[in-house]
Structure 1
Amino acid sequence: MPLMRGAEPYHHEAGQIGVLLCHGFTGTPQSLRPWGEFLARNGASVSLPRLPGHGTTWQEMSRTRWQDWYAELEKAFAVLQGRCAEVFVAGLSLGACLALRLAEVHGAAVKGVVLVNPSITSDVPLLALAPVLKWFVPSMPGVAGDIKKEGAVEVGYTRTPVRAAATLPRLWSLVQADLGKVTQPLLVYHSPEDHVVKPASVAILRRRIPGVTIEELHDSYHVATLDNDADRIFAGSLDFIRTHASVPLQRD
């Protein structure tokens, strides 16, 4: 099935530090591509896969569930592990939730975690009703494109497939239940003015994970990686990786 323009995955092989980037629900690698390219220019090996069902049609996505998306990240993580000395994971929104799950499952094999506007709880009433609505409504209005910066565009669906959304509560429950396993360094970027994900997710992380660093983004909305604070996220994540990596960030 043809991909939306810009929805292609991105991979770059460089040094011994690997970074796995995870895009968000109904979004595409395009939302994180500038971040990935920035890290690649600074010596990281970067993997930014396209999650199954994303970047084509929302009807195709309705045939996928969170386990399919997570499995794709597991494969990408294994490839990075095979060629890099250390691997960091990072993500936006649902991608941040999946990144946390990788950290919970793989423990010390994940060197550090960077999250941007993470979604780990059902704080949107309509999404909370998705397990019931899926029997009556095939799709809801889309959530892509919440960006403050003039002219910036996110490639994503204009409709949200309800069947896919109905699988999210199980993922959120698993991630919340195992937050105590996240002992890796954790950096979180949070936009107080986010029209997609409410503050509850960051509040849970602040309460449950000792030592988490939370940076506020006051000039960006939900898709902050394409917004006014993008450069701050990119530079801050690079500093975070340099601080916590045991080997230098440099090309082979």
Structure 2
Amino acid sequence: MKPKKRLVEPFYFPGNSLGCLLIHGFSGSPSEMRYLGEQLSGLGWTVLGIRLAGHGSTPEQMAKTRWEDWVRDAEAGVKELRKSCSRVIGIGLSMGGLLVLHLATLDLIDGIVSMNSPMLLADRRTRYVRLIRPFRKFVAKPNSRTNGQIVPEESKSTQQKPERFVYDKIPVDSLISLNKAIGKVRRELKRIKCPALLMQSRKDFTVDPISVQLISKNINARKSEVLFWEHSGHILTLGPERDEVVRKVDGFLQEFNNFNPEI
């Protein structure tokens, strides 16, 4: 199934001097972050939602990309926001959260919102994917409950069914690269000193919920908060608690602004 153009397009909404860099997850697309981005824009924040290399097209295109490509995209997003914003907050879902954590280890951003970021994947088979590399180029998405690419995400809080574009198969080489990146970022968490809001869904069947505890324990942020979501799955930004997620992120941004007045 071909993606709908709006689902996979990056987005930019100008606002105040605090920029929000929104980064989607592994094998996903900007559609995962658009609802959050639109809501934050309506609250006055500047928002940039990027599309990572190889995403929002075909699994075959993604197979040509690696962690280093996605890092370059994330760094380019920070640079773009710096053109109009004095400070940048990284907001990432899943691998997008891992990228946000990585940016923070390099002191490239001023604060982080990490959502279901992986320190440990729930499906143990992903740890041994290297063993099947000689035999297969793609694997079915772990815990996938869809057979297509355009997925309706139902929300109990609204009658809307926002759509999400995601691959239903994953390139083995890209997954191997992600596994390496998880270990790399985990070893560097101690370098993170900026304010952090760490979120984890209880019903996450992609990322082991222990991940958020590992992040919280190892970062050296001058201020951090951990929030668990009882009713949401892995795609926290489109789940039944998405509106409360928006409020919590907005609260974090407001608090950041209050304690970090512009010079």
Q: What does 1:29-178 correspond to in 2, within 5 Å?
A: 29-105=30-106, 107=107, 109-143=108-142, 149=155, 151=161, 153-178=163-188
Q: Which runs of 5+ in 1 are unaligned?
A: none
2:147 alignment partner in structure 1: none
Partner amino acid, structure 2, of 1:84? C
SS in 1 for 2:8: coil
Partner amino acid, structure 1, of 2:218? R
Give me the TM-score of the superposition, normalised by structure 1: 0.90
Q: Which runs of 5+ in 2 are unaligned?
A: 145-150
Percent identical residues: 27
What is the rounded CA distance, in whole Å, between the counterparts of 1:152 and 1:35 in structure 2?
11
What is the rounded CA distance, in whole Å, between the counterparts of 1:129 and 1:186 in structure 2?
31
SS in 1 for 2:240: coil
| 1:124, distance to aligned residue in structure 2 (A) | 2.8
Partner amino acid, structure 2, of 1:202? V
Provide Cα deviations, 1:35-56, integer angstroms capped at 9, x if missing partner. Answer: 0111111111111111000011
SS in 2 for 1:154: strand
Provide Cα deviations, 1:19-40, integer angstroms capped at 9, x if missing partner. Answer: 0011000000001101011111
Residue 93 of structure 1 contacts residue 117 of structure 1 at CA under 8 Å; is this kept in 2?
Answer: yes
Q: Which of 240, 245, 253 is equivalent to 1:233?
A: 245
Alignment of 1:191 with 2:201, yes or no, is yes
SS in 2 for 1:166: helix
1:202 alignment partner in structure 2: 212
| 1:130, distance to aligned residue in structure 2 (A) | 2.1
SS in 2 for 1:193: coil
| 1:142, distance to aligned residue in structure 2 (A) | 2.1
What is the rounded CA distance, in whole Å, between the counterparts of 1:221 and 1:146 in structure 2?
14
1:244 alignment partner in structure 2: 256
Provide Cα deviations, 1:2-24, integer angstroms capped at 9, x if missing partner. Answer: 85541111111221110001100
Partner amino acid, structure 1, of 2:189? L
The 3 A distance-change label for structure 1 pair 202 and 70 is same
Which stretch of the first structure deviates more once superposed, 169-178 or 30-39?
169-178
The runs of at least 4 consecutive aligned structure 1 residues that moved more than 3 Å come to 2-5, 143-153
The 3 A distance-change label for structure 1 pair 132 and 4 is farther
Give me the TM-score of the superposition, normalised by structure 2: 0.86
| 1:94, distance to aligned residue in structure 2 (A) | 0.6
Which stretch of the first structure deviates more once superposed, 140-149 or 156-165?
140-149
Residue 147 of structure 1 contacts residue 220 of structure 1 at CA under 8 Å; is this kept in 2?
Answer: no
Partner amino acid, structure 2, of 1:171? A
What is the rounded CA distance, in whole Å, between the counterparts of 2:152 and 2:206 in structure 1?
7
What is the rounded CA distance, in whole Å, between the counterparts of 1:4 and 1:133 in structure 2?
33
Which stretch of the first structure deviates more once superposed, 222-231 or 5-14?
5-14
Residue 131 of structure 1 contacts residue 167 of structure 1 at CA under 8 Å; is this kept in 2?
Answer: no
- Alignment RMSD, CA only? 2.0
SS in 2 for 1:91: strand
